[in-house]
Chains A and B, each alone.
Chain A
């Protein structure tokens, strides 16, 4: 039941460069997509979200892109900083108030 897939378990990027994290989904009914960041021994922290009616949302260094025809979501972090090193989860919600369905996560390492 892989409704949300993050195919890269890890990603290593040099400080100052762009980090691109990817997520694929299967269900066209998904209403809302979110990205969370998680440090060890902490809970997931909300980063940025996008409605299914949009194709881009930007917040500072973070931009999320949604390609509905390809059922693909990506998170761009630019410039990457060492403090961005964490596990990143994409998640979707079918409706407001509904549960979040998470991908497996991608561990980002930003090297100084």
Chain B
């Protein structure tokens, strides 16, 4: 069964450093998303991406964040200058046409 994959599973970085989180969505899906979950809190929407552009973003997704689909398979989230409060699980999701989104296993980002 096709699935969304994410790498790395765990990333440790120092405050102020740039990180890139990578996702490979399900191959025929058209809509791509990033969410995050800070420990003990809700899963929160960050950004949605369709047809090579951002279709919606949350207040969390400020100028420090960017997304890219550099080729036909990868979907990346970049944080330019990480802060302590960026420590969270980051989930990538994708969907084809229906409402259901399919999530990857997540990347745990730890900012020290």
Binding site for B on A (CB under 8 A): 31-32, 34, 36, 41-46, 49, 89, 93, 96-105
Q: Is the CB of B56 within 8 A of A46?
A: no
Chain B min CB distance to A109 (Å):
18
Q: Is the CB of B42 within 8 A of A102?
A: yes
Q: Kindly identify which residue among A93, A96, A97, A105 contacts B42, using a CB–CB cutoff of 8 Å.
A: A105
Binding site for A on B (CB under 8 A): 4, 6, 31, 33, 35, 41-45, 48, 50, 55-56, 58, 91, 93, 97-106
Q: Is the CB of A43 within 8 A of B100?
A: no
Separation of A98 and B99 alpha carbons in the complex (Å): 8
Q: Kindly identify which residue among B35, B55, B100 contacts A49, using a CB–CB cutoff of 8 Å.
A: B100
Interface of A is mostly: loop
Q: For residue B42, which residues in chain A have a CB less than 8 angstroms away from its CB?
A: 102-105
Separation of A34 and B58 alpha carbons in the complex (Å): 20
Q: Is the CB of B101 within 8 A of A100?
A: yes
Separation of A33 and B47 alpha carbons in the complex (Å): 19
Interface CB pairs A-B, < 8 A, 28: A34-B99, A34-B100, A42-B106, A43-B4, A43-B103, A43-B105, A43-B106, A46-B100, A46-B101, A46-B103, A49-B99, A49-B100, A89-B43, A93-B99, A96-B97, A96-B98, A96-B99, A97-B50, A98-B48, A99-B45, A99-B48, A99-B56, A100-B33, A100-B93, A100-B101, A101-B45, A102-B44, A103-B42
Chain B min CB distance to A8 (Å):
15
Q: For residue A46, which residues in chain B have a CB less than 8 angstroms away from its CB?
A: 100-103
CB closest residue in chain B, given A48: B100
